[in-house]
Amino acid sequence: MPDNTTTIADLRKKINEFRARRGWGKEDPKDMALSLVLEASELLEHFQWLSGSDVMRNPKIVQAVSEEMSDVLWWLINLADRLGVDLSDAFIQKMQKTGVKYSETLFNPEISEEERTRQYYRIKAETRGGHPLYEPEEMKVEVKEKKRDEVRVDSNQKNSNQKDVDDMLQQLFDLLEKEKVSPKE
């Protein structure tokens, strides 16, 4: 049953038949969501300590990964069934939202990689109320100005400290001078 001739409805039907033959009931959607993520973690485990290209070069690992992908799909379809979600509709609607969020105009293929990354983290920052990797242009200017002001303050502070030292020295000289003129007995 290859992808190009199999529909999600076909998979749904197969899963339901498989479950019915075993008398499996309807699980709590919370447990289904949890199982989905656990299977995704099992998938991730095959990548632990390896690079992406190590995995790609090893057919045994790709096979193991594909089995975990199937487990994820199992729970995804089961969960969609349980919650009454039409996966195809939901997917297309979400793609439309993603298309607006990451517009073709903003991410046109001509922009630099640096600008692409900056725009990506700007959007992340806007939707999540901030992102550590996003530094707005205005903020860069503000930081520069702040540093310049700090240098100014620091320099003024140094001048002020130097003045205090000078005053103290002067007072000391004055005292010594006084001492010379009228030495104590």
* Closer to Mg ion by Cβ: residue 72 or 134: 72
Q: Under the criterion CB under 5 A, does residue 73 sit at the interface with Mg ion?
A: no
Q: Under the criterion CB under 5 A, does residue 135 sit at the interface with Mg ion?
A: no
Stretch that binds Mg ion, among 38-46, 142-150, 160-168, 171-179 (CB under 5 A): 38-46
Q: Hey, what are 182's tokens?
A: 């009228």
Q: How far is the CB of 93 from Mg ion (least distance, A)?
A: 29
- Number of residues engaging Mg ion in binding (CB under 5 A): 3
Stretch that binds Mg ion, among 41-49, 77-85, 107-115, 136-144 (CB under 5 A): 41-49
Q: Which amino acid is at 21?
A: R
How far is 18 from 123, CA to CA, in rounded Å? 43
* Closer to Mg ion by Cβ: residue 42 or 81: 42
Q: Hey, what are 8's tokens?
A: 């999600």
Q: How far is the CB of 9 from Mg ion (least distance, A)?
A: 24
Q: How far is the CB of 72 from Mg ion (least distance, A)?
A: 8
* Closer to Mg ion by Cβ: residue 35 or 58: 35
How far is 24 from 31, CA to CA, in rounded Å? 14
Residue with smallest beta-carbon separation from Mg ion: 71
* Closer to Mg ion by Cβ: residue 71 or 135: 71
Q: Hey, what are 170's tokens?
A: 């002067």
**CB-based contact 27:82 (threshold 8 Å):** yes
Alpha helices in the chain (DSSP H): 8-22, 29-45, 52-57, 59-83, 87-101, 113-128, 137-181
- For Mg ion, which residue of 27, 33, 42, 121 counts as binding (CB under 5 A)? 42
Neighbour-count burial for 145-155, b at 16+ CB within 10 Å, e otherwise: eeeeeeeeeee
* Closer to Mg ion by Cβ: residue 14 or 116: 14
* Positive or negative: CA dihedral 133, 139, 144, 146: negative
Q: How far is the CB of 39 from Mg ion (least distance, A)?
A: 5
Give the footprint of Mg ion on this chain (CB under 5 A): 39, 42, 71
